[in-house]
Amino acid sequence: MKIYRKIEEIQACFSTACVTIGNFDGVHLGHQRLFDVVKQEAFRSCGTSVAITFNPHPLQVLRPGGIKLISTCEQKIELIAMSGIDVLIIIPFDREFAATTAQQFVDEILIGRIGVKQLFVGYDYAFGKGRAGDISFLRQQGQDKGFSLTVIDPHHEGDVLVSSTKIREYVAAGLMAETRALLGRYYQIRGEVQRGKQRGGKEIGFPTANLHIDEEDLLPRYGVYVCQVMYDGRKYGGVINIGFNPTFSENKLIAEAHIFDFNQDIYGKPIKVNILHFLREEKKFSGIKELSAQIAQDVITAKEVLRLTLAG
């Protein structure tokens, strides 16, 4: 997949450009269905499948603190590449770009830079200053300027509408199976392993990999989860605690993963953690002995959950 991080990097219009636009936060099953339609039409017309997205997410600029993202930009790029799209255009979004009118976007970017021939959008998509670039506007523009518009109907899993909003609700509630059903994969957090208090292995008997996280990140409800850790091309089972570690009265948000059958030094190394299943709430224990006993039970339960989950 060819990636453009600025509109100015595009030197010539694409051959028979089949284009879709969106924030694509999470690249959930609805987005994947949209990409499939774009790819199929590009193949049929011997054209180029093109996805346009924005970084940062427009709401992070227009309403700071008003949205927690399902996926980082890095993860979104990976997922769109996996979908098989030919070209990804990532437009830097700031307040200056936010002033771009829908008409300017169509004339200068879709037509002038990309050479759109077919445009595909979700049923509720709108863009441009004041969100004036709605379906009605795009349909009229297509008729006037020679490109077709296809509106993709909403996608449901069972009786649930697949949307980034619903996924955020599920994640915040710790409903990881429901989240997976809408994403088509496990919910994932990622980051570099940080040095913590180092009491996990020495004092408690369960060494942990600590990830730096922020309260502004989209996190599951605080508690202990079954997880799957990806490091250096391999997958390991584990348990992860997300919260404030009440037993040690720390007021710092943490994500501590105990990785099964693993003894490598990974400080400063990147890991990815799939969150599979909620085990229990955070709890303040009387001391290290009680905490260690509970973790031992968590490990037993988690290994059984992993056995049943991965076997299915």
DSSP secondary structure code for residue 103 in this structure:
H
* Cα separation, 56 vs 198, whole angstroms: 35
CB 48 within 8 A of CB 17: yes
Enter the tokens of residue 121. 């959008």
- Is 256 one of the annotated active-site residues of the chain? yes
H or E element that contains 225: strand 223-231
Q: How far apart are CA 98 and CA 83, in angstroms?
A: 28
Q: How many CB atoms lie within 10 A of CB 75?
A: 17
- CB within 8 A of 279, min separation 6: which ones? 223, 224, 225, 226, 239, 298, 301, 302, 305
Cβ proximity of 106 and 115 under 8 Å: no
Q: Which member of 78, 96, 256, 290 is catalytic? A: 256
Residue 82's nearest CA partner among 51, 114, 123, 109 is 51
Residues that are catalytic: 256
